[in-house]
Amino acid sequence: IATHQHVTPDELEGRYVVVIDTLRATSTIVTALANGCKQVFPVTSVNEAQVLSSSWDPDKVLLGGEGQGRPLPGVFLGNSPRAYTTDVVAGKTLFLVTTNGTVALHKARKAAQVLVGSLLNGETVANRIIRDDPDDLVILCAGTQGQFSLEDIITAGKILGHIWENRPAVVNELAIAAFQLFQFNQHQLAPLMAQTVHGRRLVEMGDGADLAFCLQEDRFPVLAYQAVARVCLLPPE
């Protein structure tokens, strides 16, 4: 288990990585894909989103994301998963820019496998890991302001708990700690999340309903993986 600020792309090269940003980027990606979005390009700036999407049919493209948690100028949708409904996203390609989540996905670009994890699809992700049985699993948490965040550890704990039940030998003690944290709090996730830095910020911004949304366990049993290595030239800022 690591936060993305503490690992380099080279350290993730060839490894099996699950990226988690419970609040909210990976929850948004999973929701969008479950609701019929065709694909998501996680990008690291609005400029990059605009450059990459400029050659696409505008009717088939959505720009989404946040800076400091708020929708960005030039970006149509924010980062609330509740905005990514079927009528908005079906058949569209989403270019998503967020502060931590899409940066973590970008960091994992050299990994052999990258799955997108959230509470919304945790069991599905765990089942795929159990099937693939990797010997070099990294749970890459997006965190908040460079620190581990409780909401990401809780999601990691859910996923690792499923793995522990099936493959006890492959789970280390940090994974067991994460699972026990999840298990201890499983029935009180909402009040716990409301105390986190990120949870408090979402409530202050009027996006408190996103907490309950992102905490729905296994609402979308979908498997999202990152398949495209992005290669692009950006114009000077």
Contacts of 97 (CB under 8 A, 6+ apart): 42, 43, 44, 45, 46, 48, 49, 63, 64, 65, 66, 67, 72, 75
Residue 4 binds ligand MLT, judged by CB under 6 A: no
C-beta of 123: minimal distance to ligand MLT in Å? Answer: 22
Q: How far is 123 from 223, CA to CA, in rounded Å?
A: 10
Stretch that binds ligand MLT, among 3-11, 85-93, 99-107, 146-154 (CB under 6 A): 99-107
Stretch that binds ligand MLT, among 85-93, 95-103, 148-156, 216-224 (CB under 6 A): 95-103
Residue 98 binds ligand MLT, judged by CB under 6 A: yes
Stretch that binds ligand MLT, among 23-31, 111-119, 152-160, 220-228 (CB under 6 A): 23-31
Closest by CA to 236, choosing from 67, 107, 47, 42, is 47
Query: Using the rule CB under 6 A, which residue among 12, 17, 20, 23 binds ligand MLT?
Result: 23
Contact 112, 16 (CB under 8 A): yes
C-beta of 196: minimal distance to ligand MLT in Å? Answer: 11
Residue 21 binds ligand MLT, judged by CB under 6 A: yes
- Sheet order of strands, 70-71 included: 39-43, 93-97, 61-67, 70-71
Residue 48 binds ligand MLT, judged by CB under 6 A: no
Stretch that binds ligand MLT, among 42-50, 96-104, 107-115, 167-175 (CB under 6 A): 96-104
Binders in 70-89 for ligand MLT, by CB under 6 A: 79
**Cα angle 22, 196, 27; round to 5:** 10
Binders in 128-187 for ligand MLT, by CB under 6 A: 142
CA-CA-CA-CA dihedral for 10, 223, 84, 206, to nearest 10? -70
Residue 101 binds ligand MLT, judged by CB under 6 A: yes
**Binding residues for ligand MLT, per CB under 6 A?**
21, 23-25, 66, 69, 79, 98-101, 142
